[in-house]
Amino acid sequence: MANGASRLIVALIVGGGIAVAGFFVSGGLERFRMADRTIAVKGLAEKDVEADFAIWTLSFRRAGNEFAGVQQALAADREKVLAFLKAQGFKDDELEARPLAVQDLLARDYAQGNVPFRFNGSGQVLIRSARVTEVAQAALALDPLIQSGVQFSGDGEGAAGPRYQLRGFNDIKAPLLAEATRNAREQAEKFATEAGAKLGPLKSANQGVIRITGDDGNDFDDGSSRSKRLRVVSSFEYELR
């Protein structure tokens, strides 16, 4: 009988310990040590923001058997692209026309004599603008350029779409870290109360790394999404009294 009672008491103690541990883990407790009277917690903060800058590279190409013809076609395409972007309201200081490039495929060391066209050329127009909405709208309005004969490149960025950035990151960073700090302290105070102690001064802190992801579910931001999610997990250690 005595042995049965002992086993029951041990089971209750173990079960209670598991329940308390489960509560702490679900709440974000990282370490709780009564021996040296400290508690370590993690604070989480997340925020959804919109990109504040866009970079769009429009790459186009031409091919032919006459150098001059390819070069002239590329120059005409570049003027069409610039005219299109200016018609969309973009200013000269937002646009950059890069030099045209024409390559003689037969002049290469590894040239093959059966190429369909001897000359292959390309050009690029870049737009850099803080008017993110206007850039996104322009990216959806390329049909007239394509119908006019502009051949956008399919490799690299081409005309696949703008890349969106968050250049005002530092303005968002401080409030986000402050939120993570508040979150951690609230947890620490709750845990201390549950343990029958009082929360003491902060012993150490690690603000962690702020991760930026898009709204497409990926674990990284490839720049294709205008909506950004910022997430930070900060670590703090407090003394207990």
Domain residue extents for the chain: 27-50+168-240, 53-165
Residue among 142, 214, 209 at smallest CA distance from 176: 209
CATH of domain 27-50+168-240: 3.30.110.170
Q: What is the pLDDT of residue 107?
A: 84
pTM: 0.77
Q: What is the pLDDT of residue 30?
A: 56
Q: Which residue has the higher pLDDT, 2 or 197?
A: 197
Q: What is the pLDDT of residues 175-234, one digit of tens each?
A: 999 999 999 999 999 999 998 899 999 999 999 999 999 877 677 898 999 999 999 999
Give the span between the Cα atoms of 222 and 35, in whole angstroms: 46
Give the span between the Cα atoms of 26 and 52, in whole angstroms: 36
DSSP string, 137-181: HHHT--HHHHHTT--B--SSSTTS--EEE-TTHHHHHHHHHHHHH
Residue among 144, 164, 161, 175 at smallest CA distance from 214: 164
Q: What is the pLDDT of residue 111?
A: 65
Superfamily of chain region 53-165: Protein of unknown function (DUF541), domain 2 (3.30.70.2970)
